[in-house]
Amino acid sequence: MKKILLYILNVLPIICGAQIAYPSGSFASAGSSYLISNTTAALSGIDFVQTGTAYSWDYSILQANTQETITWDDPNNSGYKATWCLSNGYVVNCNTQFNAQFNLANQQVEGIQIQGYGLTNVVNHYDKSATGLACKMVGASLTVSGITVPFTFDYTIPDTVYNFPIVYNDAYTNHSEFEIDLSTLGFPVQYESQLDRTNTIEGWGSLTTPYGIFTDVLKMKTVEISNDTIITQTDTIPMQRTVITYKWFDANFGIPVLQVTGDEIAGVWTPASVTYIDNPQCLTPVALFAYSPLLSDYDPVSQQASVSFINTSANYDSVLWDFGDGTTSTEVNPAHTYACPGIKQVTLTVINEFCDPDATDSITIPLTITDSQNAFTTTVTVSSGTLIADRDLAGTTYQWVDCGNGNTEITGETNQSFTPVQDGNYAVILTTNGCQDISDCVAFAVLGTQSFNGETQDLVIYPNPVKDNFEIRTNIPVKKIAIYNALGMLVATENNLSSLPKGVYGVEVYLADHSVVFRQLIKN
């Protein structure tokens, strides 16, 4: 009898432990946020595959490289509600339809790259119920013709991430599908994705991390096999990937308290990254960002160019953007509209306020807003004894100056055209959208002034854009050329740009008739 009782007492904890459950109510809800640490260092020597019943996992040796806050939001505040309703034809009943589909949202840390097209501000929209967590729609932003456009796409088969409750020995596979068609936005690219996600709850016990000890956890193994296809006008590109993730769940936390992810290649799984719930630490902030599109062109119709910035920094609490045009922002991933083309020196500063004193880091990256339609031209045409500024953008102001006398303003000459009454050297200051330029200095003779409407106006530089050498086509002999960068610095006097970086350059062509013609040239 004593042996039987002893056996029951020994087995009882195992039976009770096996009843650990993670219900839907334990998972994150709108407004939840969690600080997690990330590490990618020295993972190959740690066994994350080990598992069993009443198991004790000890990963206290993990060391954080970076930290970030994961936030779950109300989908009504994601910024994609109106876009989704419009794309699905819900106008009068938008609120009802949207709230019936989604009750949780989460922003992806990384954007999506499809054949060079960057999707930013990517937000997953979920439906969390008592039986599962399903991703049903994704909102993203794409920069089109200089303007950032929001769009959404629904899963044709929702991606059920978890079945609730999560219990030991449960195993299931969920299939999902979606398609992104960028051709409706002017990009001839389609992206099709099919995913088979297999979750196996293969262990339970206690877990130790640098954060502390979790006495009742469930360990889940997730195998994701994705089959994706990129379709362009000329190619169909299939891709397959197998990702294995191990997750440990504690019912007191709304996300896995530890998660290890890695690709399986040729049957071999290699851990690549680890995240775990943690306390804030004074880690050195690292500033880093990217932007999309990589080459944004100024639109003379809307008189703007829009750029989306993707903050990939680490270990920060707050940010400060300087967009290089006199404006700033404290948004984490802002979109900014530039009113003028040119090279902008964009600076991102990140601050870790947990440190005492605050720790900061900054990075500056040049961003080029091209002007392929030459809307901001600074050329001047001489016709019938009159100087005419070629720029005619709405809102442009003009001030003619005597460039032979220190750019002294000529009183009253504020029209697009100017008829000098005496010989001299003249230029015009052009101001559009607050951005100021000055034209080339034009030598002018009241008597015998040659019309620029003829031969010199037909001067052509080709090819444009150019890679190395370019040619000048004109009926008037060329005496010399001068090439300037976007900062106005003389960088070359020959028609060879091979040694210069990519960007927009100004080319002054001095002709045998004593006239000077200015053209813009793009170096690829």
pLDDT in tens, 79-111: 999 999 999 999 899 999 999 999 999 987 554
| Residue that finishes a domain, picked among 347, 370, 393 | 370
pLDDT at 317: 87
Tell me the residue range of the domain where 113 lies: 2-277
| Residue that finishes a domain, picked among 370, 392, 411 | 370
Considering the domain architecture, whether residues 485 and 427 belong to the same structural domain is answered as no
Confidence of residue 64 (pLDDT cuts 50, 70, 90): very high
- pTM for this prediction: 0.66
pLDDT at 143: 66
Task: Kindly report the CATH number assigned to the domain that includes residue 360.
Answer: 2.60.40.10
Confidence of residue 522 (pLDDT cuts 50, 70, 90): confident
Sheet holding 289-292, edge to edge: 289-292, 305-311, 335-338
- Whether 115 shows a pLDDT value over 70: the answer reads no
Considering the domain architecture, whether residues 63 and 116 belong to the same structural domain is answered as yes
Considering the domain architecture, whether residues 427 and 364 belong to the same structural domain is answered as no
44: CB partners within 8 A, 6+ apart = 270, 271
How many helical (H) and strand (E) elements, i.e. helices and strands, does the chain have? 3, 38
504 is a domain residue: yes
Considering the domain architecture, whether residues 70 and 19 belong to the same structural domain is answered as yes
Considering the domain architecture, whether residues 252 and 305 belong to the same structural domain is answered as no
Considering the domain architecture, whether residues 441 and 463 belong to the same structural domain is answered as no
DSSP run (H or E) holding 16: helix 2-17
Considering the domain architecture, whether residues 229 and 336 belong to the same structural domain is answered as no
Considering the domain architecture, whether residues 134 and 185 belong to the same structural domain is answered as yes
pLDDT in tens, 315-364: 998 999 999 999 999 998 898 999 999 999 999 999 999 899 999 999 99
CA geometry: angle at 328 spanning 324 and 333, to 5°?
Answer: 100
Nearest in space to 306 (alpha carbons), one of 321, 318, 320, 323: 323
291 is a domain residue: no
In the block, residue with structure tokens 């596979």: 173
pLDDT in tens, 413-439: 999 999 998 888 899 999 999 999 999
Give the whole-number percent of the chain exceeding pLDDT 70: 90
> What's the first-to-final CA gap in the chain, in angstroms?
88
Token pair for residue 305?
């160019």
Pairing of strands 212-231, 33-39: unpaired
Q: Count up the domains in the chain and report the number.
A: 4
| Residue that finishes a domain, picked among 447, 468, 501 | 447
Identity at 384, one-letter amino acid code:
S
Considering the domain architecture, whether residues 189 and 42 belong to the same structural domain is answered as yes
Confidence of residue 7 (pLDDT cuts 50, 70, 90): very low
pLDDT at 45: 84
